[in-house]
A and B are shown apart, each in its own frame.
Chain A
Amino acid sequence: MCCPSAIAQLLWLIPTVPIVASGMIALLKQSQRRTAARLAIGSLSFSLLLSIKAFAEVIGQVLTRKFTWLPVHDVVNFTWIQVGAANVDLGWVLDPLSAVMMVMVALVGLLIFIYSIEYMKHDENFTRFFCFMSLFAGAMLGVAIANSMLLLFMCWELVGLTSYLLIGFWYQKPAAAAAAKKAFLTTRIGDVLFLLGIVWLFAQTGTLLFYNGGAGSLEAGALTALLAQHAGFGLCAAGAIGLLIFCGAAGKSGQLPLHVWLPDAMEGPTPVSALIHAATMVAAGVYLIARVYPLMQAGALAGGTTTALTVVTWVGASTAVFAALIAVAQNDIKRILAYSTISQLGYMMAGLGMGGVAVGMFHLITHAFFKALLFLGAGSVIHGCHEEQDIRRMGGLKADMPLTFATYGIGMLALCGFPLVFSGFWSKDGILEAAMHWSVAKAPFYMLVFGALLTAFYMTRQVGYVFFGYNRGSKDAHESPEVMTVPLAILAFFAMALGLIGTPAWPWFRGFLESRAVDIGWHRLIEPGLLALMATSTVVVFVGIGLAWRLYGDRSPKPKEPDVLEAAAPLPWGWLRDRLYVDELYGVTVIAFYGWWARVAEWLDRKVWGGAVSGVAWAFGLWAQLNRFLDNNWVDGGFDKGCDELASGGGLLARVQTGRVQTYLRLLALAVVALALMLIWSSRA
């Protein structure tokens, strides 16, 4: 690659235009709603068009390079600042990974923007909302195109900042303000470790660029050097840096044990939840791991794995099951989806850990569409039910909101992994297949299958509660207007159609990410191993849906009535409903420790440091008193005396000046006589 293509040189416009639009919206008045929405949607449309253009360009490149196995990385790099001998470089990259991510973020973001026009119609801070949303989308697109750890980290932090602003959008609600703070602090824990990883990487390789024609940190030369370096605990430097970066990803992507912020973040407006929890922010962590995959994978033998990837897998698989369990016992429509998101992110991480970039990224893309669909559908339900979020107070909405019901059903089936026509089936099967062949342990496979069962169960439970039975809440639920349902329909289309590009028969997506063309091979579908797996997952999905349908379908329990499972096993249900006490655990450990530590620091401040400062101040006060005493009694006395003497001397001399001219003349004459006598006398001598 001698020089970047024209489109790669324009790539910087993709994140910049929405960010500039955000700045312009920030200057608008509250009443200029239409302008704000137009600016936001227009700028993101521009980004989407440019992304699609770039995507097409990459497809073209992949096709023309049919027989080479080298990945395509179209980079534009430049030096930002120079510190001594070290260059801090920034840059962006156009490769299959970034192209896919850009298109996904811009497309889902645009649909969510359009949806928000109606959803936020009555909010007085409409312009502020679009300002933050635009900034968010721009920052996320920046993460997608970054070719430099530093640029990625800047955009990453911008995403963190805007997530804080958006989760706390209704900051008048104490819960929203607290959730925003929690999201910010929790992700910050991961980010500190991430930053450590970046600094370490920079120290070892001397560059922050990912790809730089052989000199980047993710290319063979740097990786070999990193592998040779030992970091202790049996890790090479590459593995240790990979783990630190994974900590940042875990914070953003809500992996155990940093997942606690994600359910609380549901306090934000529903489009924000869709944007943060489906398309962008949580996906950023997964994307980061995919981006630094060469680093994570460095040192793996053929078919083997590395410590870093093993950790990623175990954390992902645990998160998948853990969050799915909690989701079963939640009653808030958005909270169920939030735990579902955590669980699905666990799947993505596990997919990355076991199967590679293509497996994890494919689930990320399909999930982005169907989870955005589910969130926006939930928003439509909440909108239609007059801001009701408790699924026990809904019911029977399939008649009142047919479009929402249809699209939500598609999203739900895609999430469950319903066979063949839904994208979730294929992407989840990819992960399960990778888990089945994983060389280290079989446990993740069983965990993920169990997670799939739970997913089917809790989604069916939710749909049963919300759309079936009779209405237990407000009677006048209404369908949402077209500006909300059309984005739902588009997302529903993608939730189904996207499966086509990742089936085992035609794994175009995997081939695209690995920069090679693939052909259609139906025979791959009927390999015995794969067939057995597909059968297993189909059975699991049907069991999950059937079980939940038996328990919840069309039953319409009363709002006060305990859940069926709660009646059967109140104790475990209580644990799950209370989210397995993770928040409480943090409350008595980390937060209690910080509280204690803060009190110690306060005591130190007040007593020790404050005392020292007061002591110094007191000593200076004493010194000042002494100085005043000296001044008053010695220095001032002498000075005053001198002044008095001068004044009286002046008075004495003034008496010579009598005002009589003849006296002066007389003196003058006497002086002349005296002078003359002196001259005469001296000439004699």
Chain B
Amino acid sequence: MTPLAGYLLVAALLFSIGLAGALTRRNAILVLIGIELMLNAANLNLIAFWRYGPHPEALTGMMFAIFSIAVAAAEAAVGLGLVIQIHRHAHTTDLDQMNRMKG
């Protein structure tokens, strides 16, 4: 097993855990945490492909990861802000009760 495959396995595991968390948890904050896990799994993949790819001397993968982390931070801020607003509005963070946007 190559080191790359090892990293990819870990990343896939991490992604699956995040997805499972996002799908099964009812608390909006826990869903957000699951999403963050999935994002970081993707970041891990980016780093791994860069490090074991054909041009490890160019810092492309690193750049991608840093961008992605910055975007994830912003997204987490927006998501948490939304959750706070929803909580103020509906006095709950239970996702099952937030179904007013149906068609």
Contact = CB atoms under 8 A, between A and B. Distances in A.
Contacts of A658: 99, 102
A656 to B, nearest CB: 7
A660 B31 CA distance: 13
19 contacts: A653-B103, A654-B102, A657-B103, A658-B99, A658-B102, A659-B98, A659-B100, A659-B101, A659-B103, A660-B96, A660-B99, A661-B31, A661-B95, A662-B23, A662-B95, A665-B22, A666-B23, A669-B19, A669-B23
A511 to B, nearest CB: 114
A292 to B, nearest CB: 96
Interface string A624-667: 00000000000000000000000000000111111111100110
A660 B23 contact: no
B103 A660 contact: no
A665 B24 CA distance: 11
Nearest to B96: A660
A551 to B, nearest CB: 119
Nearest first, the 7 A-B pairs at minimum CB distance are: A659-B102, A654-B103, A657-B103, A659-B99, A659-B101, A658-B102, A660-B99
B103 A661 contact: no
Contacts of B98: 659-661
Contacts of B101: 657, 659
A671 to B, nearest CB: 13
Interface of A: 653-662, 665-666, 669
A50 to B, nearest CB: 95
Contacts of A657: 101-103
A656 B19 CA distance: 21
A187 B31 CA distance: 107
A55 to B, nearest CB: 103
Contacts of A655: 103
B63 to A, nearest CB: 25
Contacts of B95: 660-662
Nearest to A660: B99
Contacts of A656: 103
A666 B25 CA distance: 12
A503 to B, nearest CB: 119
Contacts of B102: 654, 657-660
Given A659-B102, A660-B102, 14 more contacts: A653-B103, A656-B103, A657-B101, A657-B103, A658-B99, A659-B99, A660-B96, A660-B98, A661-B31, A661-B98, A662-B22, A665-B22, A669-B19, A669-B23
Contacts of A662: 22-23, 31, 95
B94 to A, nearest CB: 11
Contacts of A654: 102-103
Interface in B61-103: 95-96, 98-103
Contacts of A653: 103
A656 B101 CA distance: 12
A658 B100 CA distance: 8
A657 B101 CA distance: 8
Contacts of B22: 662, 665
Interface in B1-58: 19, 22-23, 31
Contacts of B103: 653-657, 659
Contacts of A661: 31, 95, 98
A665 B23 contact: yes
A570 B71 CA distance: 130
A674 to B, nearest CB: 15
Contacts of B99: 658-660
Nearest to B24: A662
Nearest to B16: A669
B96 to A, nearest CB: 7
B36 to A, nearest CB: 14
B55 to A, nearest CB: 25
A64 to B, nearest CB: 111
Nearest to B26: A662
Nearest to B20: A669
A491 B50 CA distance: 128
Contacts of B19: 669
Nearest to B25: A662
